[in-house]
Structure 1
Amino acid sequence: MYLNCHSFFSLRYGTISIELLIETAIALNIKTLALTDINTTSGIFDFVKLCQKNDIKPVVGVEFRNDDELLYVCIAKNVNGFSEINSFASTFKLGEKNFPHKMPEFVNVIVIYPLSRKSEASANHLIGVPINDISQLWKYQQDLSKFVLLQPVTFLNKQGFNCHRLLRAIDKNCLLSKLPKTAEAKETELFYSPEYLKNTFIDFPRIIQNTDAVLEQCNFEFDFHPIKNRQVFTTSKEDDLQLLKKIAYDGVIYRYGKHDKLAKERVEKELKIISELNFGAYFLITWDIIKYARSRGYFHVGRGSGANSIVAYCIGITDVDPISLDLYFERFINPHRTSPPDFDIDFSWDERDEIIDYVFKRYGSQYVCLLATYVTFRERSAFRELGKVFGLPKSEIDELANPRSNIDISKLGEWGHLIVKYGKLIEDFPNYLSIHAGGILISEIPLSFYTALNPMPKGFPISEFDMYVAEDVGFAKFDILSQRGLGHIKEAVDIVFKNQRINVDIHAIQAFKDDPIIKAQVKAHETMGCFYIESPAMRQLIWKLRCEDYITLVAASSIIRPGVSSSGMMKAYIERHHDPSKAFYIHPKMKDLLEETYGVMVYQEDVIKVAHHFAGLTLAESDVLRRAMSGKYRSRAEFQKIVEKFFQNCKAFGYDDDVAKEVWRQIESFSGYSFSKAHSASYAVESYQSLYLKTYFPLEFMVAVINNFGGFYRTEFYIHEARRCGAIVEAPDINQSNYLTRIEGNTIWLGWVHIKSLEMKVIEWVLAQREHGFFTSFDDFCRKVPAGLEQITLLIRVGSFRNLGYQKKELLWEAHAKQNTKRVFTISNDLFELEDIHYEFPVLFNSKIEDAYDELEILGFTLKNPFSLLYNPPKVFFKASDLSFFIGKQVAILGYLVTLKPTRTKKGERMFFGYFTDINGEFFDTVHFPKSCEKFPFKGSGIYHLKGKVMEEFSHCSIQVTWMEKLQILADPRME
């Protein structure tokens, strides 16, 4: 009898989770149930899975609406009917059109119109009647053959109705008091018992019979177990395996040479498992995507657990050697995994969309989509939305929504209490669909059998379910991701070729690992601009580890993560790395499992090994634990069962309670932060590619970093680093600069992109005119480029005409004079070159201080040494290079603030880690504990006079600041 149930996937409308819907059905002894969310199928597979688990027959469909207008409800008779519904929905969603008022004829779909739209229904359609409309049935009692009970289920009680109304007000972005009645459900849209519904329609038994007959016709049988991905890459699975074998063995020769027996044996073993688990096509499709990318000259990094595979390494998906790192394939693919494996493939941020477009064109838009993710109401965001609905002032809403504010519920007024109450009720409700970071599905059969498709701004359609549902359904997703670090590498390789005519093989990773000059670069912690290892925290860690090789860098990539560092195990790892005799194993078994990492759990694999071999969890249970560690588990109940089993097993094995608790504490500290070893190794590969470029081509590399933006530091400090590496850095120049920064020899010309407020059309005009030759004078520029006075003023003030022999102040006078006489800012089409007109001006002086202020305003930083701008600088101070000679002593130093890392002590007090450059441009670190922060707060960017005690840890020095003052800089003379 239940043909029209809504879950909370009826976004900002429904109030019942799938779990609660099923629980209520069980309590009411209901054996057949239909889920028909509004314009979506997001909840279908969770619903079907839970129904199957609880012996309830699932029926699936969609309720179609245009805004608040109910059109019809579609019920699928079978999986083909579900596909028909999804195809219909996708057509109108992707076309961004309203659904039609009249439904087309379907083969396997039952269409039910509301009684109010009876006239629009065809002979094959049914008419649905809720309990509210029962009084109207007397008009039609002569022929009720097409009538069914269509009682919507939207909430469970009065509180649910209130929640629904608040969601509708959020959706309409209006005050609750202004919510139109047409936008909300009727209060009767409750989950009534079968007895109540039968009683209500006792005078119309035919309607109940018709309703039961509809449900009887429907049979949505779905098998969650088979892999749903595209099954073959060539023409058959056998051909797939032969192709995969060929390219894998070709890769063995490239990676290991002709005579490496171990590599060949491991490839053979992996190919057998890949074949048995039917993953040949998955490997080949990934290989095909990368092959296309390389044909376009694009770089990639294959990372994640896929780097455990030697086949992936040999066919070029990853650059991580699993033999040298002792990575085991079963971490990637094994029959015990609770979720399908996937490759994470990173491309440069500006190339990813083309790769995705290739996948859609190569495998067909019917079979390919991006994965969705549900953006949910979080507690504080819910408070903000509800604050608007109740009409609270902005200041009160900000206070409620501030995660750092400690809300005293007892002091809240009536509206505040309601906001907190209902905010907690709608917490974790889905709010809207968004795009998963990189997940792509490539299906064997049309995607309409699984989902309708939704449009997204970039033009690639998304599914209506997320990665967790995709895994449940049986999809192994392809993760096509983007990052700026690869942009740095790709552009640096291109610039090296243009500037030095050298071709760089950036995939020659083994040569990079063995290079003594690169080892020295790492040991000297000269890593600015290098992927993942450029931050102050990572530079400190490299310093403390005295890292000079790839293996140590792999470990550093993982122990820098909050889970390891916050648990105190990072410090323990560093100590034991320098003195392995200090390695401590809480139990003899732990030595066998963690000897490589000195008894410290560093990687996800370590936790899996401990869970399986120490605590006796199955590999499947260990995999659930692994997913929980990476923040990817769905069921907290399932996770809790594993926690209980962990301690039960430990007790059964006779472990001391304290030992079991400490092992679990270490496991738990990883939650949400840990890396797999293969993932860390993949990051370290990219770090080494950056390190190679930084070591041998530092200027070209820094230009690439500057041009790709998105690094850890501001552009100013990458320019500073280029200077440290020997570059001559020039401000934008009218005849030398391009849109982006470029290099010629060892001179770096900053690009026009760095000039704030410079219009793109002016840049385009400049570059277009330059194709015909350099500008010869200011008048020549004014004749050719129709820029307004404001735009020309920017160019003059930043010094763009300096190499044409002009002074800035003279040009500013001349620009204004020509503007007043209408002799400037229009393109001249004169057949003959006009003579330049010059004006006589008195001698005008320009100071470096004025130039610095112009640069600060226009570029956002000055190209001068910032210390040269100090007003009355202190005369005695230390330098960064002196600190190691004054450990434990008080020093005074001047520092130009690079970046700050805020954090909190265990008591919740605010403190900072600072990163500065000294007068010589060398970097140093500071620590600012709460009392120091309170007494001597930071006052924005600039130069600080700092005093404090030099502290040393594992040869790394930092200053514990006890006094600090921001220093004044010289005033702009033009303001005096």
Structure 2
Amino acid sequence: MTKPIYIPLRLHTEFSITDGTVRIKDVVKKAAAIGVPALGISDLMNTFGLVKFYKACRGAGIKPVMSADVWVENPEATDKPFRAVLIAQNDEGYRRLSELLTAAYVGEDRNPDHAELRQAWLAEGDNTGLICLSGAHYGEVGAHLMNGHPEAARAAAQKYAAWFPNAFYLELQRLPERPQWEVAVAGSVEIAGELDLPIVATHPVQFLNSEDFQAHEARVCIAGGWVLADKKRPHDFSPSQFFVAPEVMAERFADLPEALENTVEIAKRCNLTLTLGKNFLPLFPTPDGMSLDDYLVQLSNEGLQERMVQLYPDEAERAEKMPEYQARLDFELKIIIQMGFPGYFLIVQDFINWAKNNGCPVGPGRGSGAGSLVAYALKITDLDPLKYALLFERFLNPERVSMPDFDIDFCQSNRGRVIEYVREKYGANAVSQIVTFGTMSSKAVIRDVGRVLELPFGLCDRLSKLIPLETNRPVSLDKAMEMEPEIKQLIENEDAGELIELAKKLEDLTRGLGMHAGGVLIAPGKISDFSPVYQADESASPVSMYDKGDVEDVGLVKFDFLGLRNLTIIEMAQENIKKTVGETVDVNTIPLDDQAAYKIFRDANTTAVFQFESTGMKKMLKTAHTTKFEELIAFVSLYRPGPMDNIPDFVARMKGQAFEYIHPLLEPVLEPTYGIMVYQEQVMQAAQVIGGYSLGGADLLRRAMGKKKPEEMVKHREIFAKGAEEKNIPRQKADEIFDYMEKFAGYGFNKSHAAAYALISYQTAWLKAHYPAEFMAATMSSELDNTDQLKHFYDDARANGISFLPPDINESDYLFTPNSQKQIRYALGAIKGTGEGAVASIIEARRQGGKFSGLLDFCERVGKEHMNRRTLEALIRGGAFDSIEPNRAMLLANIDLAMNNADQK
């Protein structure tokens, strides 16, 4: 191989968010094509794309050089920070870079106006794993040179050289359009000679090809809110900032060959290997120095004893059932310990039990976790997996080692409290949420580019609306133009060719940052040892700089904290019941065979009942005659595209239509679903019963069937037929069963998930059946801002015999409140134009001084801080003063008088 002459070290990818349009895969492909042996990434103040870059380079046989382009504090002019590039040479350097970036966003000493590195941090910390490039004309040395202060530049170079011993390079950049940069180049070369410092040549890459400049400028304008034609907008970038070949740089720096040689030298010095695919769990504190394994065994056995008393109050029946439960518990514990996951189970049970003991409702389970008896014993889930034939191997498979993943539903309004508990337990710097990257979809990019090109809004709006959706996502621009001829026509008629050309180049690029809905990371030690942490502002939550896939790659373990509105509704309903009838109701202890609850389903009276609210669901329920919980589980699973076709057959069999099992051995597996395969677990059990698979192997078969991999299917068909043959099942019948399983594996539902969600459905139906006013008041309180939904629930409540009392400043609260006469008092918070603060001040004034006697009294006592003219008008028009003075027009006419009077008082 020829000796490399230059290594590109400066590259802003699309993850620089505001000023790069380079897609990582494309640049790596181009680098490989021109034979570049190493490549550097240096996104601006972040490492969002670093893991993706590392994997892409490694995959293409290129050495990745990982760095960040950073802002460094300028003590003389705080709004004009300097630039530098910090390159990680090794693991220590990576952690140091991560620590510095984290401090810039979430540290106590950070600059609140913009993220930058404090000079004190660079001076005080250990930088031995880092290489620093001076930042060319934007760095402290270069900026002083450009401003004609060579002495200050020299002092700055000495300072950085002391911070980064033998690892500080004076950076030189030349672009054809920027001859003025030569001042910084010449000055830096002179200082390098005087102080015996190395020089290095870099080329700032912002876009991939020369023809992408205009698209890059459009991106900069989209991010900054400018328009392309604006002469006054910043013009910081040049047409030559594309990815150039080494020969171009060799020619450009022919007079300074050592500046090129040093790019190769730097690449040689960098040997950072990321540890990918290994999990690092936080350490869970156990009592008396017990091992994690022993503590898990102890807690699980204690929990099982408690659960068995609830499940089987009769002692004799309990003693008879115990061996079966104990055997399943021991089997699961053995696998959990063997796979090294006791810590994971202990961490999850700890924060779930804290939530349950501290008034934060938790869902009964979700996803495949409900198939674990250990999880049930530890109170992570609330469904007995043996009763509903839920399989542990669907959750944890000893034949395919992957991290367990409990998806946990918390009551929406208390979820933050649980995350706060985890922060306190493991330390704030060990806990963060996860970043997500919003992209410019075809629909959005048309509008964005149209704005920066100053095209008529109507045209962009029409074009954007013409783009078809597939599975709720807009199709690509190319596909949209094929599918919708009107787009092409409109572009030709309106001469909007440039719009489409730029939009195609920017389509699907990262546009902004968000936060993963449920994922919370807990690290052993600091998150920043694995990933830098980003925080948008004071009020935002800290998030990892790596997205969900990348944090899992670097070994951080994600715990899912999901918010579920229905848990909040159940909690509010239970509180309402306590207030109206003085009873303490806990839906987790209600019997699952209450026919009053099933009548709600039989009558399709399921508005506000979780998972059963849609018109299609109601139509299905009208034909079915639901009497038991297993049927609810099946309906949750069947009511989806694909399985829906089986609903008429399922309902007919439910009602007694005769049917045959595909094979007698499958009767115990298919009996709960009347001979129809509905769940993924049934596919697994069928593989076990007919094909002789272990349940672990059966899960691998289910996955292969779901992914429709032909070569794997051929292999499995033979294994299955061989197992069937041992049970005297002929090949033809074995193939028929295999085909039947394959059909259902594609859209079979996870029974553990369906069962857990059916339980919440049943609980909401039970509340609606027995405490309709309390339940509907809670449901309506959860939708205060949604007038359409409120109307829908209001009509349903009245159809269920509930009457409404009007809003009243002397009686109403912020939320809807029921009473024991099946009446609901309308909420002040549901009157458009009021707010929580205003209503709180009304209730506080009422608490302190009793009921209001009139408008003057009201204005005097509530005070002006939360009560303005608009809020007062909204309350009067909404009828909240009718009980004091029914003449609304008179009250509206006297608002100014009342408010002025209150001011004088």
| Corresponding position of 1:275 | 337
* Aligned counterpart, 1:328: 391
Q: For 1:232 and 1:179, locate their aligned partners in 2 and report how far apart those are by CA, in whole Å.
A: 59
Q: Provide the aligned C-alpha RMSD in A.
A: 4.0
**1:522 paired residue among 590, 601, 609:** 601
Match for residue 748 of structure 1?
824
| Alignment of structure 1 residues 376-775 onto 2, 5 Å | 376-403=439-466, 406=484, 407-409=486-488, 411-413=490-492, 416-456=496-536, 458-508=539-589, 511-565=590-644, 568-578=645-655, 581=658, 597=673, 602-605=678-681, 642=709, 645-646=712-713, 670=747, 675-709=749-783, 714-746=789-821, 747-758=823-834, 763-771=839-847, 772-775=849-852
CA contact under 8 A between 1:4 and 1:153: conserved in structure 2? yes
Aligned counterparts of 1:288 and 1:603: Cα–Cα separation in 2 = 31
Bigger mean CA offset, 482-491 vs 760-769: 760-769
- Tell me the distance in 1 between the aligned counterparts of 2:255 and 2:267: 21
Report the Cα distance in structure 2 between the residues aligned to 1:581 and 1:329, rounded to whole angstroms: 32
For 1:165 and 1:601, the matched residues in 2 are separated by: 56
Shift of 1:408: 3.5
1:777-833 Cα offsets, whole Å, 9 max, x none, are: 6775566456778766655554445555x5x23x744774x679x578635999xxx
Compared with structure 1, are the counterparts of its residues 356 and 162 closer, same or farther at alpha carbon in structure 2 (3 Å cutoff)?
same
Change (3 A) 1:456 1:197: closer
CA contact (8 A) 2:814 2:828 kept: yes
Give, in angstroms, the shift of residue 478 of structure 1. Answer: 0.7
Counterpart code for 2:768 = K
Report the Cα distance in structure 1 between the residues aligned to 2:699 and 2:247, rounded to whole angstroms. 46
Any unmatched runs of 5+ in structure 2? 1-6, 73-78, 142-152, 310-317, 469-483, 722-730
TM-score between both structures, scaled by the size of structure 2: 0.79
2:512 is aligned with what amino acid?
Answer: Y
8 Å contact from structure 1 (residues 299, 347) kept in 2: yes
Pick closer, same or farther for the CA change 1:171–1:627 going to 2, 3 Å. Answer: farther
Decide which moves more: 174-183 or 519-528: 174-183
Q: Where in structure 2 are the equivalents of 1:62-461 lying within 5 Å?
A: 62-65=68-71, 71-94=83-106, 95=110, 96=112, 97-100=114-117, 104-105=122-123, 106-116=127-137, 117=139, 118=141, 119=153, 120-121=156-157, 122-123=160-161, 124=164, 125-132=168-175, 140=189, 143=193, 145-178=197-230, 183-194=235-246, 196-198=248-250, 200-234=252-286, 239-257=291-309, 259=319, 260-301=322-363, 302-337=365-400, 340-403=403-466, 406=484, 407-409=486-488, 411-413=490-492, 416-456=496-536, 458-461=539-542
The Cα of 1:742 is off from its aligned counterpart by 1.5
Mark the CA change 1:468 to 1:814 in structure 2 (over 3 Å): closer, same or farther. Answer: closer
- List per-residue Cα deviations over 1:374-413 (Å, max 9, x = no partner): 1112111111111112221011100111155634325523
Q: CA deviation at 1:491?
A: 0.8
Q: Which residue number corresponds to residue 20 of structure 1?
A: 26
Whole-angstrom CA distance in 2 between matches of 1:150 and 1:572: 69
The 1-side partners of 2:506 and 2:654 are apart by 48
Q: Closer, same or farther in 2 for the Cα pair 1:216/1:494, shift >3 Å?
A: same
Give CA-to-partner distance per residue, 1:589-634, whole Å, 9 cap, x none.
99998776567664455677899999999989977995997xxxxx
In 2, distance between residues paired with 1:610 and 1:207? 68
> Which structure: greater helix fraction?
2
Shift of 1:40: 1.6
Equivalent-residue separation in structure 2 for 1:424 and 1:665 (angstroms): 39
Quickly say closer, same or farther: Cα 1:61–1:594, change in 2 above 3 A. Answer: farther
Q: Which amino acid aligns with 1:382?
A: V
**Cα distance change, pair 660–51 in 1 and its aligned pair in 2 (3 A):** farther
Higher mean C-alpha deviation, range 608-617 or range 483-492: 608-617
The structural deviation recorded for 1:498 is: 1.7
- The change in CA–CA distance for 1:599 and 1:27 in structure 2 (over 3 A counts) is farther
> Which structure's relative contact order is higher, taking Cα pairs within 8 Å and 6+ residues apart?
2
What's the CA shift string for 1:4-61, capped at 9, x where partnerless? Answer: 2333222243333322233233323333322222222112112223333444332211
CA distance in 1, matches of 2:372, 2:535: 35
Higher fraction of strand: 1
> In structure 2, what is the Cα distance between the partners aligned to 1:135 and 1:366?
44
Equivalents in 1 of 2:701, 2:834: separation in Å? Answer: 53
Change (3 A) 1:469 1:588: farther
Paired with 1:205 and 1:386, the residues of 2 have a C-alpha distance of 42
Q: Is the 8 A contact 1:580 1:598 kept in 2?
A: no
Q: For residues 598 and 813 of structure 1, do their structure 2 counterparts lie closer, same or farther at Cα, with a shift above 3 Å needed?
A: closer
Aligned to 2:346, what secondary structure does the other structure show? Answer: helix
Q: How many angstroms does 1:477 deviate by?
A: 0.9
Partner SS, residue 203 of structure 2: coil
Q: Is the 8 A contact 2:855 2:891 kept in 1?
A: no
Give unpaired runs (5+ residues) of structure 1.
630-638, 831-976
Measure the CA separation in 1 of the matches of 2:409 and 2:388. Answer: 21
Alignment of 1:776-815 (within 5 A): 781=858, 784=861, 795=875, 798-801=878-881, 803=883, 808-809=886-887, 812-813=889-890
How many residues align structurally? 806
Q: Is the 8 A contact 1:267 1:311 kept in 2?
A: yes
- Seen in structure 2, the aligned counterparts of structure 1 residues 277 and 755 have a Cα distance that, compared at 3 Å, is same
Alpha-carbon spacing, 1:543–1:750, altered in 2? closer, same or farther (3 Å):
same
Give the percent of matched residue pairs that are identical in Structure 1 and Structure 2. 27
Please identify, of 527-536 and 790-799, the stretch whose mean Cα deviation from structure 2 is larger: 790-799
Please state if 1:5 is matched with 2:67: no
